[in-house]
Amino acid sequence: MALTLVASTFRSLLTPIAPFTWYDIPISTLDVLAALRLCVVLRQLREVAQAEHRASRSSPTDGSIEKRRSIEEEEKSFVKDATTALVVVYGGEAVVLPWLGTSPSFLFSPVVPGLYTFLTYVVESLPSIPPMSLKTELPLSILDGFSRSYLLCDLIPPVVTTLKTRDLADSPWTMLISALFIPNTGFLLVSVFSMLHPAGYALATPPELSARGWTTMDIWVAPLVTGLYALTTHTQPAWGAVHEGVYTLVRWTAMGGDGEGEKGVHAVDRETARAACAILLMGLFITRTMKNFGGDYVREMFAGGFSKKVIIRSKVDGKPYRGKVKTQ
């Protein structure tokens, strides 16, 4: 039931929408929502970096006052903001695809780069946006599950399977390496050059390469999901053999080693496999959101719902009332 619902939702989200269809441009609802989501996240991260920078300049423990005052914030630049968004989106393609003997997608059409540039302008023009919190990130984890599974199941595999070099096109290793680096290299470059820092570009060690950086969910979930999708749909010949081997092993274990059972295993329908990957990603992203923001939300709820306030009852006796008072 859940797979059917997710698969149906996917079909609706991937249907091209107006006004793009007026000009035969295949931009879907999911494309717009994913682009808008990224632009909002980049602004949120930029504002967090700005707040940390201002706090460090005013803190007596972060160096001399003269040194802190010398690192002034740069004037806000739309070109810089748009460049950051495009680096996140296309950084992986620009680095990886030339090694595979193909060209990045932004060289074929200006439509998608233009969409990200326009939405960056819209988001940056807003007076304010809500910060990341459990209330905002929890429902958006559902959207992230759809958009990330679309990237890892629909966009990455065809890049590899359509390569002219058959040794690469049929290689599961090439598939997994591409899934690892194409989605993640953009953010890696942004971190390396501190592109979100208000004081300007500077070389820095990205969080992904720091201690325990490999545990970052976005790093390992990309090859995992693409591998699961390729395994179940037999995207490459080798995955079909692995799928049959896994099926045989599981069946042999379940039957206690008795009987050969039915030979052969069929590939899963691509829409069904993609829906399963989306559900897996939703669960992972919701778990991450609860881990990152759930504690703060619970503390705020308890602090607001169970706090005691001292209230003067009336002008008659002027005595304080020390009972529990509901707070908004």
Helix 270-305 to helix 2-13 angle, to the nearest 10 degrees?
100
Q: How many CB atoms lie within 10 A of CB 83?
A: 15
Find out whether the peptide bond into 19 is cis, omega within 30 degrees of 0: yes
pLDDT of residue 268 exceeding 80, the answer is yes
pLDDT of residue 314 exceeding 70, the answer is no
Higher pLDDT, 148 or 256: 148
pLDDT of residue 323 exceeding 80, the answer is no
Give the pLDDT confidence score for residue 2 in this predicted structure: 86
Q: What is the C-alpha to C-alpha distance for residues 257 and 255, in angstroms, rounded to an integer?
A: 5
- Would you say 157 and 175 are in contact if contact means Cβ atoms under 8 Å apart? yes
Q: Which of 279, 232, 302 is nearest to 4 (CA)?
A: 279
For the whole model, what pTM was predicted? 0.85
**Amino acid making up residue 308:** K
pLDDT of residue 209 exceeding 50, the answer is yes
Give the pLDDT confidence score for residue 247 in this predicted structure: 82
Mean pLDDT of 309-313: 45
pLDDT category of residue 11 using cuts at 50, 70 and 90: very high
Give the pLDDT confidence score for residue 56 in this predicted structure: 79
- Would you say 226 and 277 are in contact if contact means Cβ atoms under 8 Å apart? no
- Would you say 86 and 113 are in contact if contact means Cβ atoms under 8 Å apart? yes
Give the pLDDT confidence score for residue 266 in this predicted structure: 86
Give the pLDDT confidence score for residue 69 in this predicted structure: 46
Greatest mean pLDDT among 13-22, 208-217, 241-250: 13-22
Give the pLDDT confidence score for residue 252 in this predicted structure: 78
- How far apart, in Å, are the Cα atoms of 139 and each of 83, 278, 286? 28, 14, 8
pLDDT of residue 116 exceeding 50, the answer is yes
Q: Cβ-count burial of 102 within 10 angstroms (0-12 exposed, 13-18 middle, 19+ buried)?
A: middle
pLDDT of residue 228 exceeding 80, the answer is yes
Mean pLDDT of 1-11: 92
Higher pLDDT, 137 or 295: 137
Mean pLDDT, the chain, whole residue set: 87
Mean pLDDT of 205-225: 90
pLDDT of residue 322 exceeding 70, the answer is no
pLDDT category of residue 127 using cuts at 50, 70 and 90: very high
Mean pLDDT of 187-194: 96
Percentage of the chain surpassing pLDDT 70? 84
Percentage of the chain surpassing pLDDT 90? 69
Q: What H or E segment, with its residue span, contains residue 83? A: helix 78-96
DSSP character string of 3-68: HHHHHHHHHHHTSB-TTGGGGT---BHHHHHHHHHHHHHHHHHHHHHHHHHHHHHH-TTSS-HHHH
- Would you say 243 and 234 are in contact if contact means Cβ atoms under 8 Å apart? yes
Give the pLDDT confidence score for residue 210 in this predicted structure: 87
Angle at CA of residue 301, ends 295 and 305, nearest 5°: 150
Beta bridge partners, 324, equal 308
